[in-house]
Structures are given as structure tokens and as C-alpha cells.
Amino acid sequence: MKKIYLIIIFGFLYIPILTLIALSFNRSGLPTSWGGFSTEWYVQLFQNEKIFKALFNTVIVATISTLIAGILGTLLAMGMEIKKSNKFVEATAFIPMIIPDIVLAIALLSFFTLLQLTLGLHSIIMSHVVFNTAFVCAVVRTRFKYFDHNIIEASYDLGGKYTITFIKIIFPIILPGVIAGCLLSFTLSFDEFIIAFFTAGAGSSSTTLPMLIYSMIRFGVTPEINALSTFIILFSFIIVLISQRSVKGKLLI
Amino acid sequence: MIQLKNISKQFDKNYAVKDLSLEINDGEFFALLGPSGCGKTTLLRVISGFEVADQGQIFIDQENITNLKPFTRPTNLMFQSYALFPHYTVRKNIAYGLERERQSKEDIDKKVSEIILKTNLNGFEDRYPEQLSGGQKQRVALARCLIKKPKVLLLDEPLTALDKNLKEKMKVELKNLQKQFNITFIIVTHDQDEALALADRVAIMKSGELIQVGTPKEIYAEPNNHFVAEFIGKMNFFRKSKIDNDNFYFLDSSFITLPKNKVNNPEYVGIRPEDILLQPNGQNIFEFKGKILDIIYHGQENELIIISNISKEPIIVKCHKDQKLDLNSEISLYCENKSFRLY
């Protein structure tokens, strides 16, 4: 009985996704009729320069914003866990995670306009750093709950100054959390649409993959997009697997 | 020698340690004993440098260390939780302190191997802390501190986390290691047995102040106030029922004559359970009658709980296992006058 329940829920979650994957191999290219198995949409996908340019932009945005957020989020988590933060700081660090994207998007756009900042990939990156930092911080903090904080004082006591203690003791222990947080923030950044759309500015040079897909489906869902989405799903799945392993798994060193 | 001069430390306007001065000799095993919240752990953290005293100074061998950071103090602290590095093996945990001193690899390896033998950790070198038992973890924590050859080793409730049998074993081991390494040990504990069994000298703390400092024998035999008497070992207390300068009157108006030149007008007298006898013995005997309310079995020496007219509270008396006594029977009890302590 429990199994059936599980199957129903997983079906509910995954049948649409499986449909999309199946359709990406549909020769007819129509969602309404099956024209036989074909990989031609994948071939077309790889010949589409626009898609590759957008993919490149997305990877740049996701990588750089993840690196910055990884550092900021880890430091924030450390400060909050070791120095003991108050409720106000806790809430403030949490808000970028739960605030509606559209609100954050408008806020960031207004802010950039106020600063008279030219918009482009760099402004998308800065915007993504905002929510990614909050996510990295949240994940890294779970790692801090996992060990006895006295080991930090023990390290000082045995002659390890602040930097050495961070390098030798704190960082190796929280590293799995940092990796998991970075992977999460990479996937979030990779498929983020609303904030990128608002803060990208005019011009196609800063179009990211989600933005390109959005502009493409205004003329109907093409099988090419199905093929692309299949790749993205596969990619996300792999990242989630790695991230789970690094949180659950033993210490990496 | 370690000297604490007028140390005070406040948290939110409450004194955790209040104007405390203390001298501890080289090679001494010293215990700070007191109930939880008495400031003993704060004092330990002030000595190790994790808390900065609001007032006062700390000297070790005449050197003022008051303003030194924990990593430059000649002290090491063994944490109650042991605080072993979970991602390091036993060997690396122990070597950590020497690596920070930038000693050569050969020296470190040699010293680590030596101390592993001395602390009976051979065979466990390559294990991680989570693969060790409580006693082994403690030995690693000890070895990790001892290898630094600190002038003072501070131990925060070292035996609290261990079960009873292991506790007894570790007591012996701690004492041996302290002698072998000839390092001053300062141990913090709330367990009076632990303090009395281990320490050369014991300091009783209450509300951030020292109440009494002395050898275990002195403190047990001559507790200098009601608090210490109650905290160290067991003590029966009797409240006076009449104001009189020469005699102390019990509840039922029986009395003992007070010695001259002692405490004036004591509010209480106290007597240790083992000083109440079932047969008259000695001089100046005070005799009273009581009924056995309960017998608490401990093995060799059992405890009688007695109700008597001389006190509202039940009285605890020691008796040997061979004594045949019945519940609810009336018995006579005897104490020498000089066994009474006046408070």
C-alpha cells in the first residue's frame, strides 16, 4: 500500500518530465503525435549558435556567482555559528532565500538604475550572488551543527592561531557543506530566469539560457527546446547526486 | 608556581569569579571543587586565556600572562568533551600541538610514539576519534596536551563522561601520569569523591569565591563552615533550640557543653555519620536514643536512617555489615563531645 502511494507521488512529479524527454526524440516534432524515434533535434540543437552562446553566458554567470557566494556564504555561516548571532541577523540572512524572485528582481533593477550601473552579465552575476550567498550560508550552517565547537578552542589552545585553525581544522570539516552549498547555488543560478531577465539589460549579448528558452517558446515549444531541457535535467540530476553524497558522506580528507 | 591575584570576571553584571586570589605550587595536583555555576569553569577558562578577566592578574613562574592569547600561554586545557579533531587520526591529533611549534618531523614522530606508549594508546594510532571508546578518547586528549609539556595542565571535568568502573581506573591513571610528567594539574570538578581522591589540595568554590583551600584531609576533618561541611562528605546538622553561651541545646533540651574559646553561640552543630557510634567509646560521651527508620545497603558499610527527639531531620549513622539491626527498633547512640563541629 505504501509503495503504491509512493509510485503515485513520484508519477505525479516525474511523468511530465519523462514526457518531455520522450518528446525530444519524437521525429514529428509535435506534442500531439508520435512520428517515430529520432535524434535529429539533438543534431539541430548542436548546430544552433544562439543556444551555445546563451549556454556559455549561463555557465559564466553560474560559475562566478557561485564562487563569490561560496566565499561570502561560508564566511557568513562561520560568523553566525562561532560568534553566536542574534535573531535579527538570522532572519536577515534568511530573507534572500524566501523573498519572491520578482520582488528581488525589481529591487535589484531599481538599485542598479539608481547607481546608474550599465546592465549586462556582471549585473546578473551580482544579483545571483545575493540569493546564492543565503543558500550557501544555510547549507554550510548545517555542517556547523555537526561538530563540537570546542575543537576550535582546542586548536587555539594547542598553539594554532586563527588562520591555521581555519585552514587545518574548520575548513576541512565544513568542506562537504561548502561543496554542497556551491553545487546547490550553481543549479539555482543555472536555471534562474526572473532576476536574470530583469537585470540583464537590453541586447542579446547577456542572454542566458533560461532567457533564450523563454524567447523561443513565444513561438511555441520546439522539439529543440525539449532536447535542450533533457540535457539540463540530466545535468541537474548529476549535480544533485554529487551534492547529496558530499553532505551525507564522510569527511573528504 | 601559578599565582592568581584578585581575579574578577562578570557576566551580565553577575560575578562568575569575584576577587579571587590563589597560589598553586609546581607539580601540584590541585582541584577546584564546587556546585555547578560556582564559577570554577570560568576560572579555568580565565587561566587558559579563553576568557579575559575584568580585573586581576595571572602569573606563571613570575611571568605575567594576563594578556597572552590562548595559543601563546604555557597552559593547556583538556576539554570536558575532549574536543578531538574528528578528521584526524589519533597520531595526527597528538602531533597537532608540536606541528604548531614547527618542530622537525623526526622529533615530532619520536615524541608522538613515546607518548602513545606512555598513555597505552599503541595499536590505536591510525584510528579516528569516532572509532574510540570514551576512555581511549580521554587518553588521546591527555596525550595531546601532555606532549606540549605545558607548565600547567587544566582539566575540565575530566571524568564526568565516563562510567563508574572506568572512572576508578582513570583516577589512578591520571594520578600516575601527573607524577610521571611532573606537571601542575588543575582539575575542575563537581564531584567531591573525585577531588578528594585525586588532589593534593582542594579549593572549594561558591558563587565565584573561594570558601576553603586545603588538603583533602584538612577539608574533610575541619570544614570551616556549614557549606563546606555539607558539600564534602556527609554531615548531620542539628539546630540549637535555646540560646545559651556555655551549652548547646538539642531539640529535646538535651545538651552538650561547648568548648571554650571556640565559635560563640553556634547556630548549628554537625557530626559525621561515622562519628556516631553504636557502643559507647571514648570520653565525654553524649548519648541519645533513636528509632531505625531505614537501612540503606551499600555493601561493607551500610547507612542507618534514624529518627530521634534531638532533631527534626533524620540522622545518618554508619554501621558495619555484620551488625544485626532491625527496622523500627529503638537503639542508643553515642558520640564523643569533641566530634561535634560548631557552625
Q: Is A43 contained in some domain?
A: no
pLDDT at residue A248, as a whole number: 58
Q: Do residues A52 and A34 both lie within one domain? A: no
- Given this model, what pLDDT does residue A247 score? 61
pLDDT higher than threshold 60 for residue A250 = no
Mark whether A187 and A69 lie in a shared domain. yes
A12 and A119 together in one domain: no
pLDDT tens for each residue of B51-74: 999 999 999 999 999 999 999 999
Residues A221 and A182 occupy one common structural domain: yes
What is the model's pLDDT at position A249?
Answer: 52
Chain B positions with Cβ closer than 8 Å to A: 48, 50, 69-72, 75-77, 79, 81, 83-87, 96-97, 100-101, 144-145, 148
CB contact under 8 A, A156 and B71: yes
| A180 & A109 share domain | yes
- Amino acid A152: pLDDT: 94
> Taking chain B, what is the end-to-end CA distance rounded to the nearest angstrom?
34
pLDDT band at A198 (very low <50, low <70, confident <90, very high): very high
CB contact under 8 A, A158 and B48: no
Q: What is the mean pLDDT of residues A70-92?
A: 89
Residue B274, min C-alpha distance to chain A (Å):
43
User: Per-residue pLDDT averaged across A188-208, rounded?
Assistant: 89
Q: Render pLDDT for A122-167 as a digit per residue (tens, 0 to 9).
A: 999 999 999 999 999 999 999 888 889 999 999 999 999 999 999 9
Q: What is the CATH number of the domain that holds A107?
A: 1.10.3720.10
Among A151, A161, A251, whose Cβ lies nearest the Cβ of B71?
A: A161
The whole-number pLDDT of residue B212 equals 94
Q: In this predicted structure, what is the pLDDT of residue B256?
A: 85
Q: Cβ B86–A158 below 8 Å, yes or no?
A: no
In a domain, A138, yes or no: yes
**Which domains are present in chain B?**
2-228 (3.40.50.300), 234-342 (2.40.50.140)
A84 vs B: CB within 8 A: no
User: How many domains are contained in chain A?
Assistant: 2
Residues A114 and A91 in one domain: yes
- Statement: residue A168 has pLDDT above 80: yes
Spell out which residues of chain B touch residue A154, defining contact as CB-CB under 8 Å. Answer: 77, 79, 83-85, 144
Chain B contact present for A148, CB below 8 A:
yes
ipTM: 0.83
Angle at Cα A165 formed by Cα A163 and Cα A168, nearest 5°? 105
Same domain, A33 and A65: no
Parent domain of A18: 1-38
Q: B77: buried, middle or exposed (CB in 10 Å: 19+, 13-18, 0-12)?
A: buried
Mark whether A65 and A121 lie in a shared domain: yes
Q: Give the residue ranges of chain B where pLDDT is below 70.
A: 261-264
Query: Is residue A52 located within the same domain as residue A33?
Result: no
| Same structural domain, A90 and A1 | no
Mean pLDDT of chain A: 89
pLDDT score at A251? 45
Q: Are residues A105 and A7 in the same domain?
A: no
pLDDT for the residue B262: 61
Q: Is residue A153 part of a domain?
A: yes
Whether the pTM exceeds 0.90: the reply is: no
Contacts of B148 in chain A (CB under 8 A): 158-159
Measured between beta carbons, the chain B residues lying within 8 angstroms of A147 are 86
- C-beta of residue B145 within 8 angstroms of C-beta of residue B83: no
